[in-house]
Structure 1
Amino acid sequence: MASLLGIDNGLTVTKAVIFDRDGTQLSVARRRVPQSMPQARFIERDMAGLWQATAEAIREAIALSGRPPSDIKAVAATAHGDGLYLLDDEKQPLGPGILSLDSRAGGIIDAWSSGVLFTEALALTGQIPHVSAPSALLAWIKQHEPERYRCIRHVLGCKDWLRFCLTGAIGTDRTEASTSFTDVHTQTFSSDAMRLFGLEDVFDALPPMAHSAEVAGTVTADAAALTGLAAGTPVAFGLHDVTASALGIGGHADGVISIVAGTYSINQVVSTDVRVDPRWFCRNAIDAGRWNNMAISPASAANYDWFLDTLCRKDQDAAIESGASIHQTLAHEIDAALQRPSTILFHPYLFGSPHGNSASGSFLGLHGWHDRGDMLKAVLEGIAFNHRTHIDALRDGFAINEARLTGGASRNPAFAQMFADILGMPVLVTATDEAAAFGAALCAGAAVGLYASVQDDPRDLAATGRKYLPDPSRSAEFDRRFSLYCRIAETLKPVWPDIEQLAETTGGDGA
């Protein structure tokens, strides 16, 4: 028998998932990875602690699979993109890892936006830098922590750190490499890009680049002792998590947009030519001559999680105690709310938005006769509306006729149907729960010849998934609501900075 291990590290949880060769999930194990927030806008994690938690998850997943470690023919990891994981000349962590939710570099971005750098960066690298981009974070470290900056010898992404822990080999793949420093046309690291950001003195710290499905090394004896993997097991280079999720739901096909409704609103379409636009990132796809076009913002299901934590705490506790699902517990409230008209609109900007750092979340049209179900429906609608904002931008540049949806909330049929109605296109939700981990597993399998390529997916997605078709009457009503949602956001743009200043003038929670 042959199986594959896909490692998926997010912002709070690291997962190890073992799949059979045919794509069947055999086991999954999770470990929470604590975040550290030493001051406002700093969001970090201990790199050694991340590796320890991942190793524990791998060991548990092997035990749960019921198969011996030797059955695992290859391993690959995916993890949150952007952020920064640095090593010194002894290949030891150079401070904590910086997560993609970190916004300490806001001042750097503001300074860059006031000149021509944004325009030059878009033309050269295919994207405008943002607060958690490696370019901005390295520039911040150079300015505020010069001693740490001088000690940088290796600039890695999160999954590259985990692969280094498994194999002792330094490197990255094409998708991770393009988060800041590649020429969008040549798809290789660019010294001109480093000079643009004032970082030319660490150009040599960028790691060697390879294909996601190339073998990077093998599991070392030390890593085998920690994880329970067999020493010598091949480890592929792996890939950025946005790309992994899209691959895991079959989203790399022509005319298909991949949607991840997670902490971030992630919307991605693959192209065979370069199309740059300030509304999306044009980054390397897995294969040369293909590009991932990603429109994203930190404004998706994290808003739903906030609502559950803030207004449904007792229900959550009861669900945990009984072993039930909080989503099923609340389903009747959402379904009832969907059957009646509502004036409530919600802007899901609790943690960020497509409209800049000053935007904030809000309920509008709320009345005393509305209940929690009405508010929850509005939250889900607002999340889908934010995705549509990004998807409409991508539809301006690419022919899109079908969507693939993943993320925890996609398992709610009402939410998935809402996406189909709001987007006005068919939406397929695949049966694979751990899509990003399976995307990594496809890379692992292709690296050792179990699959002809990463596109050689053994699953029948159409047969095992569920397709949601848009209802024309509901789509028309959502169009009307979406138009008002957008008009309100435009109206609030000049007011949001004034709202944020209230915390500074009243001694509130502006930190």
Structure 2
Amino acid sequence: MSATSTEYWLGIDCGGTYLKAGLYDRQGAELCISRQALPVISEHPGWAERDMSLLWKACIETIATLLRQSGVNGHQVQAIGISAQGKGLFLLDKENRPLGNAMLSSDRRAIDVVSQWQRDGLPEMLYPLTRQTLWTGHPVSLLRWVKQHQPERYQKIGSVMMAHDYLRFCLTGERGCEETNISESNLYNMMQGEYDPQLTQWLGISEVSCTLPPIVGSTEICGKVTHEVAEATGLCAGTPVVGGLFDVVSTAICAGLQDEFTLNAVMGTWAVTSGVAKNISPNEPYPYVYGRYANTPGDDENNYIVHEASPTSSANLEWLTQQYGGISFDEINQSVGALPKAGSDVMFLPFLYGSNAGLDMTAGFYGLQSLHRREHLLQAVYEGVVFSHMTHLNRMRERFTQVRKLRVTGGPARSKVWMQMLADVSGLPVELPQVEETGCLGAALVALVGSGVYSSVKQAQSQLNHAIQRIEPDSAAWSAYQLKFTRYQYLIEALHGYHVRCSSLSKS
């Protein structure tokens, strides 16, 4: 059957650095992908913003390019789904226009807000209801910052959204907050499955309760492509658009997570380790983050996604390579692969965009001497990113005690050197699903369900037939890595003392 006669489902993925769109058939086979870089605006230290109008313009251009390059007619696109980075804050005013730049999940301007909430014991009040920690990039933290520092803007808020909610609104003109994403906002009561005004009252932002759009499901048809969008993109007016997904959920679906024997590690801007659970455990060793999974109305059971995360992954490597300029990923892998495993004293703390070791922690190299070369720095970044992932993975293995394997997605999954390192450090077999764009595919899968091709996400998931590469851990390297991982942890502990003493200086 030719591309001009086949039905397709469009999946859009709005990430930290790229907007992507892909076309898939009913078995989840990819026809074509189009990508466009998304600039991050950082006008002040710690700020990470995005121009909302330019984001929508990039989305229009990416869809139009995809249809043109693939030769697919808009009438062949049966439904659309969107996957996007979680957290952050996308505001519309009372006339449904963008209210300033969006703030991304890696934005750290609200660090003083979160620090004060921690001193006030607010996280302990919130967690039993929300099953969320408090983070600088949470919508609630950013909303409180806007209230304190931009009161005129705060008064103009008409809608509180996240990235895929905004793009869905642009496609359809319909407001809504999708459940897998909004359930991790600290605006949502996980026990009740709905917004809770008690939360905004505790957080000092009760005024925004009336600006929260209706909660919509991942597979729910939430609107249809407007005539204006159809003219700009080549889509057909009236094409259904479903709620979509938090990108962590999208990746978990594409990684094949269905039980408690497999965890998924996402390596991108964020280091995320996820598992799927049927219930919320009452007594847990850590305050794990929970979210609603992509449950379909009528499912026998409603699953949760459970995860640990921090913005401490491969974006650190991107920063370093930008400083050198022109070094390719293949060259990096060859350089790192030629060095003895854990053979260098150089360590790297991958905290350029945030940390999982305290709000004050920042990035840095330690252990450098004149004998070290560029390849040692690159190896230290690889190790530091893996060690940061291990912080989350080790905690998750206390919750998921029967884990047998780790499935990995994201850019680093293309590096056999990096994946072997992760297997060696974790002691787990690492499996690599051969899916080019998990965000786009996951979004297309919920569109398939929403348009009636499959009755549930689980059924759609079962149709995927992607190859999986498996990497076994090297037991001979495990001891050397454990020693260096311990030293990495000691360095973080020592720096905690440094930050405490610096803090006392600022108060004196």
Contact kept in structure 1, 2:285 and 2:398, CA below 8 Å: no
Tell me by how many angstroms 1:248 deviates: 2.1
- Residue 138 of structure 1 is matched in structure 2 by 143
Q: Does 1:300 align with 2:313?
A: yes
Contact 1:279–1:295 (CA under 8 A) maintained in structure 2? no
Write the deviation string for residues 419-463 of structure 1: whole angstroms up to 9, x where unpaired. 1111111111111110111111111111112223222222224xx
Equivalent in the alignment of 2:497? 494
Rounded to whole Å, the distance in 2 between the matches of 1:414 and 1:499 is: 38
User: Is structure 2 residue 55 aligned with structure 1 residue 23?
Assistant: no
Instruction: Give the whole-Å Cα distance in 2 for the aligned partners of 1:32 and 1:501.
Output: 42
1:165 alignment partner AA: C
Tell me which moved more, 413-422 or 448-457: 448-457
Partner of 1:37: 42
Q: Are the equivalent residues in 1 in contact too, given 2:342–2:480 (CA < 8 A)?
A: no
**Partners of 1:283 and 1:196 in 2: how far apart?**
21
Runs of 5+ unmatched residues, structure 2 = 1-5, 296-300
Shift of 1:252: 4.2
Secondary structure of the 2:106 match is: coil
What displacement does 1:495 show?
1.2
Q: What amino acid maps onto 1:236 in structure 2?
A: V
Secondary structure of the 2:188 match is coil
What letter is aligned with 1:407? Answer: G
Aligned to 1:363: 365
Q: How does 1:321-336 map to 2 (within 5 A)?
A: 326-336=328-338
1:289 pairs with one of 302, 308, 316? 302
SS in 1 for 2:387: helix
Once the two structures are superposed, the pairs formed by residues 394-409 of structure 1 within 5 Å of their partners are 394-399=396-401, 400-409=403-412
- Secondary structure of 2:157's counterpart equals coil
User: Which of 368, 378, 395 matches 1:393?
Assistant: 395
Q: 2:144 corresponds to which letter in structure 1?
A: A
Q: 1:14 aligns with which of 16, 19, 33?
A: 19
Residue equivalent to 1:228: 234
Deviations 1:458-493 (A, max 9, x none): 2224xx121111122222322222122212211221
Deviation of 1:14 after TM superposition, in Å, equals 1.1
Alpha-carbon offset, residue 309 of structure 1:
1.3
Residue in 1 aligned with 2:416? 413
Instruction: Sort the Cα spacing of 1:382 and 1:500 in 2 relative to 1 into closer, same or farther, 3 A.
Output: farther
Q: Look up the SS of the partner of 1:350 in the other structure.
A: coil
Check if 1:257 corresponds to 2:257. no
Q: Tell which deviates more after alignment, 471-480 or 76-85.
A: 471-480
Report the TM-score, using the length of structure 2 for normalisation.
0.92
CA contact (8 A) 1:77 1:437 kept: yes
* C-alpha contact (below 8 Å) 1:100/1:132 kept by paired residues: yes
SS state at 1:470 partner: coil
Find the counterpart in structure 2 of residue 76 from structure 1.
Answer: 81
1:216 paired with 2:216, answer no
For 2:361 and 2:481, the matched residues in 1 are separated by 23
Structure 1 residues 64, 169: CA separation in 2 closer, same or farther (over 3 Å shift)?
A: same
Matched with 1:271 is 277
Cα offsets for 1:231-250 (capped at 9, x unmatched): 11111100111211222222
**Cα offset, 1:36, TM superposition:** 2.3
Residue 64 (structure 2) pairs with residue 59 (structure 1):
yes
Residues 380 and 216 from structure 1, CA distance in 2 versus in 1: closer, same or farther, beyond 3 angstroms? same
- Give the conservation status (yes or no) of the 8 Å contact 1:185–1:274: no
Show CA shifts across 1:267-321 (max 9, x none): 111211114665531222222732222211111101111221123x1x43xxxxx
Q: 1:111 to 1:3 in 2, by over 3 A?
A: same
Q: 1:40 to 1:367 in 2, by over 3 A?
A: closer
CA contact (8 A) 1:338 1:377 kept: no
1:453 is aligned to 2:456: yes
The structure-2 alpha-carbon separation of the partners of 1:277 and 1:176, relative to structure 1 and needing over 3 Å to count, comes to farther
Q: Does 1:85 align with 2:90?
A: yes
Amino acid at match of 1:432: V
Q: 179, 185, 188: which one pairs with 2:191?
A: 185
C-alpha distance in structure 2 between counterparts of 1:330 and 1:499, whole Å: 36
SS of residue matched to 1:286 = coil
1:507 corresponds to: none
Q: For residues 346 and 40 of structure 1, what CA distance do their matches in structure 2 show?
A: 21
RMSD: 2.1
Instruction: Note the C-alpha offset of 1:201.
Output: 2.4
* 1:187-232 deviations in Å (ceiling 9; x for gaps): 2211221211122222121111122011111111111111111111
| Deviating more after overlay: 249-258 vs 260-269 | 249-258
1:128–1:278: 8 Å Cα contact kept in structure 2?
no
- Verify: 1:102 aligned to 2:115, yes or no: no
Q: Please name the residue that 2:3 is paired with.
A: none
Tell me if structure 2 keeps the 8 A contact 1:297–1:352.
Answer: yes
**Inter-partner Cα distance in structure 2 for 1:6 and 1:160:** 14
- Secondary structure class of the residue paired with 1:294: strand
Secondary structure at the aligned position of 2:424 is classed as helix
TM superposition shift of 1:63 = 1.4
The answer to whether the 8 Å contact 1:279/1:393 transfers is: no
**Equivalent residue, structure 1, for 2:445:** 442
- Does the CA contact (< 8 Å) of 1:359 and 1:497 recur in 2? no
CA-CA distance at 1:501 after TM superposition: 10
Q: CA deviation at 1:499?
A: 7.0
Structure 1 residue 497: deviation in Å?
5.6
Determine helix, strand or coil for the equivalent of 1:494.
helix
- Deviation string for 1:9-33 (max 9, x for gaps)? 1123211111222222211112223
Q: Which AA in structure 2 matches 1:453? A: S
Q: Which amino acid aligns with 2:308?
A: A
Letter in 2 for 1:358: D
Q: Are 1:297 and 1:354, in contact at CA under 8 Å, matched by a contact in 2?
A: yes
8 Å contact from structure 1 (residues 122, 278) kept in 2: no
Q: Output the CA distance in 1 between the equivalents of 2:235 and 2:247.
A: 23
Q: How does 1:200-211 map to 2 (within 5 A)?
A: 200-211=206-217
SS at match of 2:457: coil
Name whichever of 21-30 and 415-424 sits farther off. Answer: 21-30
Instruction: State the distance in 2 between where 1:142 and 1:424 align.
Output: 47
Moved over 4 A (4+): 276-279, 497-502
Deviations 1:371-416 (A, max 9, x none): 2222212211110110010111111122322211111111011111
SS at match of 1:404: strand
CA contact (8 A) 2:341 2:480 kept: no
Q: For residue 351 of structure 1, what is the aligned residue in structure 2?
A: 353
- Residue 131 of structure 2 is matched in structure 1 by 126
Contact 2:131 2:287 (C-alpha < 8 Å) held by counterparts: no
Structure 1 unaligned residues grouped into runs of 5+: 317-325, 505-511
Tell me how many residue pairs correspond in the alignment.
491
